Structure 1
């Protein structure tokens, strides 16, 4: 089905911050007495935080896990948020895709204030037609809520005419659950096999390669 809209994940896709996120989680968990290896945390990178903790700490109370979520968010904002930088060519990619006539969206579990911080260096929000953040939905990926919200804001009635671009299998799972196409990037620590096995039709080394691999929007084909 011809492509008309492209919806991007942010953390690990447009912004190089996955190591910082994982470090903040490891420190938060260790501070609460939970020794979980970084490799294990990497497996769940990009997953809704509550879902991740349910898998890692199934015997802990809901209140304890909610406290961990808040503590990790506070730690990340305090110690790591300002360190994040966009991957090469992100703004140029958005400008190119915009010039080609694609509708552009963002679907990210990060909060609005975090996205604004990232955009100080990305400078893509002014080129984006619709944004769905963690503030807008109750559940993050792999639940499809974020992509559903972004599609609605873009006015896309046929999910198959949109692709989700993300760095984790949870991006692909959320997108394909709605009937969207899925494109993966290898900048989040997951292998090409994992991304393809969870629904990615195309996997790129980094997001800036998308301009060379994607066709014209439906109105121009």
Structure 2
């Protein structure tokens, strides 16, 4: 039985991942590095503490991760201030349905608290969640399980009674490692064979989440909720 749904934010609730990768590429180019979109996707939900040494090893000591990251954040901030933050399709409907079902919800994100609050307030959904949990609140961010374990404690729930909704590998590894059920709604990339080992089901949009929660645990319930779901 699913009692609580834990939502990743970037790429799941709001449509920001496409800008994150675009501006990683631009910031790296300004610093003299030819980073591809595919490589930039590896930054998604990847805690900076672990990303910095990873990319230093890959690109050499000249790759100043923190400086490039700050430039990426500046470029992204300028873009979002000009054009606004877009919600993913079905956000409002999914949250309203879950509330009617008395399912509690939380945001579990790798983004810092200030930007998380700004993004959620700008999209009008900040007050629709019972808790907001950021990776900056724990020692280790995604892909480690700490942030999801902390979210479960904050919600007073066992991980196995929580469904994590994620779009990217690092978040999926984090949620799965914490013992949560994992639903992937792909954004920039589809799950590969390895990732499927860490996912309980796959959906096309947030609109499917309430039905999946409703049918979870019923015999053949997942298949009835969504034909694309893999067990």
- The Cα offsets for residues 162-186 of structure 1, whole Å up to 9 and x where unpaired, read as 1110001212211111111111002
Distance change (3 Å), C-alpha of 1:186 and 1:167: same
Q: How does 1:142-153 map to 2 (within 5 A)?
A: 142-153=143-154
Confirm whether residue 100 of structure 1 aligns to residue 101 of structure 2. yes
Unaligned runs of 5+ in 1: none
* Partners of 2:149 and 2:171 in 1: CA distance: 12
* Other-structure match for 1:3: 2
Distance change (3 Å), C-alpha of 1:175 and 1:107: same
* Partners of 2:193 and 2:131 in 1: CA distance: 28
Aligned length: 214
Match of 1:80, SS state, is helix
Distance change (3 Å), C-alpha of 1:217 and 1:186: closer
Confirm whether residue 23 of structure 1 aligns to residue 25 of structure 2. no
* Other-structure match for 2:166: 166
* Partners of 1:194 and 1:41 in 2: CA distance: 21
Match of 2:11, SS state, is coil
Unaligned runs of 5+ in 2: 218-231
* Partners of 1:105 and 1:195 in 2: CA distance: 27
Match of 1:215, SS state, is helix
* Other-structure match for 2:134: 133
* Other-structure match for 1:109: 110
Q: Report the TM-score when normalising by structure 1.
A: 0.86
Q: Report the TM-score when normalising by structure 2.
A: 0.82
* Partners of 1:70 and 1:47 in 2: CA distance: 15
Which of structures 1 and 2 has the larger relative contact order (alpha carbons within 8 angstroms, sep 6+)?
1
Question: Conserved in 2, the CA contact under 8 Å of 1:4 and 1:217?
Answer: no
* Other-structure match for 1:175: 175
* Other-structure match for 2:227: none
* Partners of 2:33 and 2:194 in 1: CA distance: 29
- Following TM superposition, the consecutive aligned residue runs of length 4 or more in structure 1 with deviations greater than 6 angstroms are none
Backbone CA RMSD of aligned residues: 2.4
Distance change (3 Å), C-alpha of 1:217 and 1:140: same
* Other-structure match for 1:91: 92
* Partners of 1:204 and 1:13 in 2: CA distance: 12
Distance change (3 Å), C-alpha of 1:50 and 1:32: farther
Question: Conserved in 2, the CA contact under 8 Å of 1:139 and 1:145?
Answer: yes
* Partners of 1:100 and 1:195 in 2: CA distance: 33
Question: Conserved in 2, the CA contact under 8 Å of 1:172 and 1:195?
Answer: no
* Other-structure match for 1:66: 66
- The Cα offsets for residues 33-86 of structure 1, whole Å up to 9 and x where unpaired, read as 111111221244332234334333313279x32222323223322233653300
